[in-house]
Each structure stands twice: as C-alpha cells, then as structure tokens.
Structure 1
Amino acid sequence: MKAGLLRHILNLWPPFLFSGVHVTRLDADYRHAQVELRMRPWNRNYVRTHFGGSLFAMTDPFWMLLVMQSLGGDFIVWDKAGEIEFVKPGRGTVHARFDLADTVLDELRHATAGGDKVLRWFDTEVTDASGDVVARVRKQLYVRRKRDRDRSNAADTRG
C-alpha cells in the first residue's frame, strides 16, 4: 500500500480519529513517520492532562508498520511487548517521531538469515510543544523470515 494512502486511512481509523491522534508524516519509503496527539476533552484524564492510554496508542502501530513495509513480504513482523514511562504531564499537542535506520534493517536481515526469530526493542519519545519529554515508549518487535510453508500458505489465501 502506498504510504500516503495508509496515512489517510490511519487518520480516519476510529481509534485514532476519536482519540485525537493525527499522522502528520509517513514517508513513501516507510523509514520515517511523525504523529501528534491533540488535546481534546475526551482524551484528558481527571487532572486535565493527556490520558496515558492515548499517549501509548499514538505510538502503538508505527514501529511494526515501518519495519514490516521496509523488510517486505518475506518477513513476519509482530508486536511482542510494549512499555511506557510517564516523564511529565502532557498538555496541548504532543508529538512522536519514528526514524527507521538502514543499519537496523540490515541487522534484522542478517540476524534472521538462518531462519531464527529476532526480538528487538525500539524507543520513541513523546514530546510537548517546547520539546520536553512527556513519555518514553518502548516497543519490542518479533521478526522472522517466512519459511517456505508460510509463503505457500500466504499465496493460497490470496488466490
């Protein structure tokens, strides 16, 4: 799928649309993405700061999407684990940026060359308008090359 189309779909996806998450950038090569979370009455917590679940949700799919699209169809990529550290209260519009380096993709290709799975952590900072860190999010991805039977099963379901 073209990145521009996916960006529009994500922006209309109800969990993002109704929580105030907006994808502001998704590069055509799937190496960079930027997301913002706008403060809305329905995504505030009791003390009028960003709801922690919304801060986590704004970062949730992006590492998996970037890695999956960049590695291509010969790989299985899944979210394995996630964690968030709340650093300071988030107010106003907050931002997250995802930059997938070629060296990371090379490491994943090399580590999975023999058919082994790889578990790799990716880190993201959520920042406010002044650049202060509001939260640190870590996502662990499971990556493995598809086996021949995985490829043939995928072909069977397409045709």
Structure 2
Amino acid sequence: MMFNISPMYRRSCGKIFFVSDDLHVVKIKIPLTYKNKNYVGSMFGGSLFSATDPIYMIQLMQILGKEYVVWDKSTEIRFKRPVYANAFVTFEFTKEEIAEIKELVNEKQEIDVVKQLNISNGKDIVFTTLDKTIYISTKAFYKQKRAKRD
C-alpha cells in the first residue's frame, strides 16, 4: 500500500486498494477527477495506461523473488468506450501461472508472458483492454546476456 504514496504512481491518479497476502491479486481504482479529465470530460487515456503500467511487473518481481529479472516489455491498449466514472482493475496471477512461469524460465532461461487486463466500471462495462507483455528471465542468464552486449 505504500506504493500509493510514490510520486511516480500518485501522478497516475491510480490507487491500490487491495493486495492479497500472497501478492497474487492486486486491485486498483482510478477515480475520475479534475486531474485526469481530458478536453471532453472523460478520463485521459494516459491516466488509464499509467495507473496500470507498473503493477504486473512489480507484482511478479515480488512473487518470483530475487533470482529472477522482470521487465515490462510492451503494452497494447484498446480503448472501447470513454470513461465518465471511476474505473477499476484487478491484476491476478494464479498459483498455476506462477508455477508455469518458473518452469518455463528454468527450461528456456527467458520468456515473454502476455497478460490481458480489463479496465472496467467494476461490474459489467469494460472501458479499455490491455495486453501486457512481460519479460522474465533468471538473473544469471540476464547478467550473462547483458555482458555479451556490452
């Protein structure tokens, strides 16, 4: 929850309001305020993006631990309808997904994981859909790979 006071994250207007004990579920709210309204009064798309940008990466870093390197690689964002209300997002990894990630990274040394994410009204209306591509490798492999480039 201390993440909410980070100046970098506060500017997005996003607020983390729930984190499960095992960090597998994180929920955020993006309130519509004067700080993130655009010219026509809907939520600025950049606010939707920036509020969701760091969560999966940081979530995976904490779940996987220091033996792994995790980077956000890319995001594809699709705006489906204007946001004239508060928006909500749930970031979730199942125990099976984490086990599969570890298994694949141990086998291939590096992988890309694509997670789809919906920004909604918290019920049945989806405002925006994102595909987040996250790079994951072992720390040893990543260090070796960087040394070859330098």
Contact 1:19-1:42 at 8 Å conserved across structures: no
| Cα offset, 1:13, TM superposition | 1.7
Q: How many angstroms apart in 1 are the aligned matches of 2:61 and 2:129?
A: 22
| Cα offset, 1:130, TM superposition | 4.7
1:1-150 equivalence runs, <5 A:
7-8=1-2, 10-114=3-107, 116-147=109-140, 150=143
Which runs of structure 1 show a deviation greater than 4 angstroms over 4 or more consecutive aligned residues?
A: none
Q: How many angstroms apart in 2 are the aligned matches of 1:18 and 1:141?
A: 23
| Cα offset, 1:20, TM superposition | 2.2
Contact 1:115-1:147 at 8 Å conserved across structures: no
TM-score scaled by length of structure 2 = 0.88
Contact 1:92-1:129 at 8 Å conserved across structures: no
Aligned positions, number = 144
| Cα offset, 1:124, TM superposition | 0.8
Q: How many angstroms apart in 2 are the aligned matches of 1:149 and 1:17?
A: 31
SS in 2 for 1:141: strand
User: Please, what is the CA RMSD of the aligned residues?
Assistant: 1.9
Contact 2:69-2:142 at 8 Å conserved across structures: no
TM-score scaled by length of structure 1 = 0.83
Q: Residues 70 and 42 (structure 1 numbering): CA distance in 2 closer, same or farther, change over 3 Å?
A: same
Aligned AA for 2:56? W
SS in 1 for 2:107: coil
Q: Structure 2: any 5+ residue segments left out of the alignment?
A: 144-150
| Cα offset, 1:39, TM superposition | 0.9
